[in-house]
Structure 1
Amino acid sequence: MNYLKSLFPWIAFAVVATQFDWRWSGLTGLVISAALLLLARRDGRKADTLIIEWSGFAFFTLLTAVAFSFPASPLKTYTGALTDAWLALTAWGSLAIGQPFTLGIARTSTPAALWDNPLFKRVNVVITLVWAASFTVGGIAGIALLNFAPHATFALIALKVLCFAVPVAFTIRYPRIVRARAAA
């Protein structure tokens, strides 16, 4: 469940965005991202466990700067979809450089003896692919919904929930399935 802590700024941003102006939701994400990075530094966490935290810090820094500088920007409408698109870029980018963002997180709860196991690495590539695909679908579908059905609030919320719930469930179940197959 370490990955949920990494996603907390994004979740808090989404919750605050439903109640307050985008400036405050962006600032909320930024403050939480910064706090997570400070706590991680204090705890001595390695850089490979912080890919999502650093990505969030960068995103929320940019978003907050834009939101406070140009509060009426048309980007305001698309912030929810932009978060998914940014996370998709982060996930795809981590795969492109051979460091799936889930790998560092998985190492925090996996014995070091398994870290170099090709199956361990493959499981994390697959899990990161699922996250990347989910974020990509969320970003594209979110932009489409906002363009063609901007008042479809329930659909937008359901999309956001699904884009987190599906990869969370997969992240929990898939390693168990792989372990069971390996043991058989």
Structure 2
Amino acid sequence: MESESSEPTRIMVAVNESSVKGYPHPSISSRTAFEWTLAKLVRSNAAGFHLLFLHVQVPDEDAFEDMDSIYASPEDFHNIKERDRIRGLHLLEYFFGRTHQYGISCEAWIRSGDPKEVICNEVKRVRPDLLVVGSRGLGPFQRVFVGTVSEFCVKHAECPVITIKRKPDEIPQDPVDD
């Protein structure tokens, strides 16, 4: 049995924005994974855990859908990067605020790139005790087109991985949405 002065369990939670227009910032999968972590792992032992929130921003290929990208200026690129950064900070603010309500220590950061690769690289760099990721619970047909971050992380992350599926009553009409 470890002493009470032992280090807290470090849990990395990968979080992302909702793809459902008009939906509050966190995706259903992220919020479900976070709530599960609080309810089933942390419970009333706030001091025993340290949460690490990682948000991976996917470079936005559709950023110029409202303008002709041939004429995009450096200012346009800067404005898009700034908009994405602000949205990422708002997303992390949601999780940060909820975590502090429970008195749990945490830290959060944003990276950019392919979520599968970035999450596994960050696990290697930060070395959490556990990674928690949300899963949309897509069937084999949908997975072919979407690819799943959670399955990749289970295979490649250098720590135990828990994937949390969305609750059946929270699945949008198109399960690919989140």
TM-score by length of 2: 0.29
Which structure shows the higher helix fraction?
1
Which structure shows the higher strand fraction?
2
**Higher RCO (CA 8 Å, separation ≥ 6 residues):** 2
TM-score by length of 1: 0.28
